[in-house]
Structure 1
Amino acid sequence: MSQTTAILDAFAAQLKNTFGQQLAVELFPEKPSGYRLNHPRGAILVAFGNSKFGEPEALDAVFQQRNMTIPLTLVFRQLNGRDGVITYLDAIRDCLTGWYPPHCDNACRPVDEVFIGQVAGLWQYTQRFAIRATQLQQAGFGG
């Protein structure tokens, strides 16, 4: 399993462990335009956002910091109140802040939260988290 896939699966598992009785937790759909919210309250969709790599830290092999952003898309039927997306923004942030995904040497930390809009009666927000892993040169590749 790739490092990125393992991290995404771990995010989904962490969120399911905490919110699985309350919300749907899924990987971001292959065809977002065809996504249908089937849960009565809402869903957390986990995606890979980007990686930025630091300068190599060794002269004889590639060893770099991999700073990653993991965006969550929240799709909810309600904006405010106990079952609303605003309440869950706080709960999800509390769940992930300080948690260590696999392959990471820094704890998960929030980056930003942005209102996407309301589409077909569903409230949508994105919540992005930063993590840091290490990129290593694989044996047998390179010079």
Structure 2
Amino acid sequence: MIDTRAVLKDVAERLRAAIPEVEVALTPERPQAWRLNHPRAALLVAYGGSRYGDARDADLVVQERVLRVHVYVVARALHDAYGAVPLVDAAADALLGLRATNCGRMRLVSDRFVSEEAGIWTYELVFEAETLAIEDRDLSAVPRLARVTADYGFEQEAPP
């Protein structure tokens, strides 16, 4: 089962380890009230939603889930060592290939300029990782396999 919060925490931990010179945090509950207090920059990690594939029902619903994670680079400079542009590259390098909890490797989908306001530059990186969404149900009530028949007609009893 996927735990979206665990994925976001994995992303934040990887960014903290790779770029310890800046603030790394999950996007605040009230982003409009958030202010950049760090002297250099901050990387904010946000859940951006998911896309789901067609359901495969084999007595249990299973769907491919493509989880989307956004990283916002908020910096006081544009081109210096801890400016927005080098931090976009550093965040991409840190997260490409990351295997977050119960997910495949993260891949970069896009990055873009968001805004500049009073010398504060904001860029957004979008990553995706594949996982599975599996129906949560009590499997003790599901009938157990009792017999297997191969295409060539050989039958064998399943072990108890």
Regarding TM over 0.5, the answer is yes
1:112 — aligned with what?
110
RMSD: 1.8
2:5 — aligned with what?
5
Instruction: Tell me which structure has the larger Cα radius of gyration.
Output: 2
Q: CA deviation at 1:77?
A: 0.1
What are the equivalent positions in structure 2 for 1:38-49 lying under 5 Å apart?
Answer: 38-49=37-48
1: CA distance between counterparts of 2:97 and 2:32? 33
What are the equivalent positions in structure 2 for 1:40-119 lying under 5 Å apart?
Answer: 40-104=39-103, 106-119=104-117
TM-score normalised to structure 2 length: 0.82
Deviation track 1:26-83 (CA, whole Å, cap 9, x = no partner) reads: 0111111111111111000000001011112342111111101101111100001222
AA aligned opposite 1:65 = E
2:138 — aligned with what?
140
Identify unmatched segments of 5+ residues in structure 2: 143-160
2:158 — aligned with what?
none
2: CA distance between counterparts of 1:103 and 1:119? 38
TM-score normalised to structure 1 length: 0.91
1: CA distance between counterparts of 2:65 and 2:118? 37
Kindly indicate whether residue 128 of structure 2 is the aligned counterpart of residue 130 of structure 1.
yes
2: CA distance between counterparts of 1:36 and 1:115? 18
Percent identity over the alignment? 32
Three-state SS of the structure 2 residue aligned to 1:139 is: coil
1: CA distance between counterparts of 2:49 and 2:137? 25
Q: Are the equivalent residues in 1 in contact too, given 2:84–2:121 (CA < 8 A)? A: yes
Three-state SS of the structure 2 residue aligned to 1:126 is: strand
AA aligned opposite 1:111 = V
2: CA distance between counterparts of 1:15 and 1:43? 10
2:23 — aligned with what?
24
- The runs of 4+ residues in structure 1 deviating greater than 3 Å are none
